[in-house]
Amino acid sequence: MKKIYYYSSLDDDLVKSKNQDYKLKSNYKWIHTNIFYKILSFFVYIFVILFSFIYCKLFLHVKIKNKKILKKEKGYFLYCNHTQMLGDVFNPFLICFSKHPYIICSSSNLGIPILGKILPIAGALPIPNNIHDMIKFKESINYHVNKSNPIIIYPEAHLWPYATFIREFPNTSFHFPYENKKKVFTSTTTYSKSKIFKKPNITIYIDGPFTIDTLLNKKENIINLHDKVYNTMKERSKLNTYEYITYKKKN
């Protein structure tokens, strides 16, 4: 029997962490230049890479299509649909293999026992709880992408497990690629029925690049990038062939 999730709006948090209301400390740092922190981060990165291969390949049965288009890219923005609790943490390390991805996430993720402590060291960039820290947050994104690292963004914001459709999302995050003059790519997770396992197989499609149009102004470029990303992901979502969880809007 299929699971059914009921929602009121596309902004519903259908999956909540044990510490959903976790707040960042007032002295939280998004950029670390300390040599010892960098060494620790490197070893954590290696561990996460190894764990990603084991977990994503053996347990989630992930296949990645067209990953080769990212091979020669250095600093870029990768927009993904948000449908896996742990997979969306570890899949980017397979997709961006050989480059350290930095993943924009909700600060509530840092409240998850054990994993929450590891995430920032591995490359998580939590969204600030207040507007005063937003400048530091933006600086960290600019810093990492200009150090040739990929920035991973889940524009749908809320995790909807195994959703087979793309939810509408705002164009807010498209300021980042415009301001840094970086390329944009998409990563669309799709599902197909497994012949062996209860949970479906996962196929991730990589598309792009989408670039800044010099003939358009800032506002037009942001809208243009948003529309290209949304339409590309929506088109790829048509490749879903199995619905593990059904989503229905409440009356």
The span from the first CA to the last CA of the chain, in angstroms, equals 22
Residue 148 predicted with pLDDT over 80: yes
Residue with tokens 């924009």: 104
Residue 1 predicted with pLDDT over 80: no
Pairing of β 245-249 and β 124-126: unpaired
Pick the CATH number of 3-249 from 2.30.130, 1.10.3470, 3.40.1130, 2.60.40: 3.40.1130
Domain spans, the chain: 3-249
- Does 56 or 111 have the greater pLDDT score? 56
Residue 2 predicted with pLDDT over 80: no
For position 130, what pLDDT does the model report?
86
- Picking from 95, 103, 115, the residue whose alpha carbon sits closest to that of residue 19 is 115
- Picking from 33, 13, 215, 46, the residue whose alpha carbon sits closest to that of residue 122 is 46
HSE on the CB side for 203, CA within 13 Å? 15
Looking at residues 155-170, what average pLDDT do you find? 97
Structural tokens at position 130: 């207040």
Looking at residues 155-160, what average pLDDT do you find? 96
Residue with tokens 């229905």: 248
- Rounded to the nearest angstrom, the gap between the alpha carbon of residue 77 and the centroid of all alpha carbons in its chain is 10
Question: What's the pLDDT tens digit per position in 100-134?
Answer: 999 999 998 888 888 888 999 999 999 998 888 99
Q: What percent of the chain has pLDDT over 90?
A: 85
Looking at residues 229-246, what average pLDDT do you find? 97
Question: What's the pLDDT tens digit per position in 3-24?
Answer: 999 999 999 988 877 777 788 8
Q: Share the mean pLDDT of the chain.
A: 94
For position 50, what pLDDT does the model report?
95
User: b/e per residue, 184-197, with b = 16+ CB within 10 A?
Assistant: bbbbbbbbeeeeee
Residue 26 predicted with pLDDT over 90: no
Whether this prediction's pTM lies above 0.85 is answered by yes
Rg of the chain, C-alpha, whole Å: 18
